[in-house]
Amino acid sequence: MGEKPEVSVVMPCYNSKDTIRQAIDSVYAQSVPVNLYVIDDCSSDGTKSVLAPYLQRENFFYLRNDENMGVAKSRMRGVAAADTPFIAFLDSDDWWEPEKLSVQLAKMKEKKAVLSSTGRELMKADGSSTGRIIGIPEQMDLKRILQSNYLNCSAVMVDRNVMLAYPMEHDDSHEDYISWIRIIRETGPAVGIDAPLLKYRLSQGGKSRNKFKSALMNYKVYRYCGYGVFRSLLYFLSYAICGVKKYYL
């Protein structure tokens, strides 16, 4: 019997047969023990056959949705099924450096934080690097997180009980960003590890690739978090400016 994991990795997937193996292998390459929950949102492309070699692992859990639930409910299904103190999210087309979870876990314990994230390197659809690295502040309070969503979901580690208290919802928006704002607003600043420990694949089908649609979803984030029209517009303007600086300057 090995060491009991402190971290469960929650990985939603949908038609991910071409990328999910790299994502899973990066989880099992971590230097800390983990449980991995793959939530299959009704894939039809043979994803299950790619997962076959992992199904007999005692720390691998495969959950297939009976109907398409969307990414928010799929992630929360994994959080509910897990039984570890911490949750780390990883999308099925991204992957991690081997030290990612150990560095993050140590930082959260040191700072007594319930939420953390790392920097990331932007990768092309074929998995090669764009040469672009997105850094992250060492601390993110409410003011800072309202200005820009520094916490990429595939880089996040969060206290499981806190995640259950502030679940992801509203798939018509950036469901993870809503949770991060609510968590930071109620529990205090998140911590950042400014190293590109996440390899983030840019895909044509992601929500954030349509800039107009993504902008509208960001406005909805602030409204879902309870802010009025005027304050939501101000936060949106700040978010847009930060986004230009982050990706283009």
Interval 162-218: pLDDT, tens: 999 999 998 888 999 999 999 999 999 999 999 999 999 997 555 555 566 777 888
- The mean pLDDT of 145-166, rounded to a whole number, is 96
> With contact defined as beta carbons under 8 Å apart, do 222 and 145 qualify?
no
The answer to the question of residue 16 being in a domain is yes
The answer to the question of residue 238 being in a domain is no
Q: Which position has the token pair 């790392």?
A: 118
* Structural domains counted in the chain: 1
Q: How far is CA 52 from the centre of its chain?
A: 24
The answer to the question of residue 103 being in a domain is yes
> With contact defined as beta carbons under 8 Å apart, do 118 and 195 qualify?
yes
What pLDDT shows up at residue 203? Answer: 78
What pLDDT shows up at residue 211? Answer: 64
The answer to the question of residue 124 being in a domain is yes
pLDDT beyond 90 at 29? yes
The answer to the question of residue 221 being in a domain is no
Domain region containing 184:
7-204
The answer to the question of residue 209 being in a domain is no
The answer to the question of residue 90 being in a domain is yes
> With contact defined as beta carbons under 8 Å apart, do 198 and 245 qualify?
no
Q: How many C-alpha atoms does 102 have within 13 Å on its Cβ side? A: 9
The answer to the question of residue 244 being in a domain is no
CATH number at residue 108: 3.90.550.10
Indicate the helix (H) or strand (E) that contains 81. helix 71-81
> With contact defined as beta carbons under 8 Å apart, do 100 and 197 qualify?
yes
Is the model more confident about 132 or about 246? 132
Q: Which position has the token pair 């692992």?
A: 57
The whole model's pTM is what? 0.92
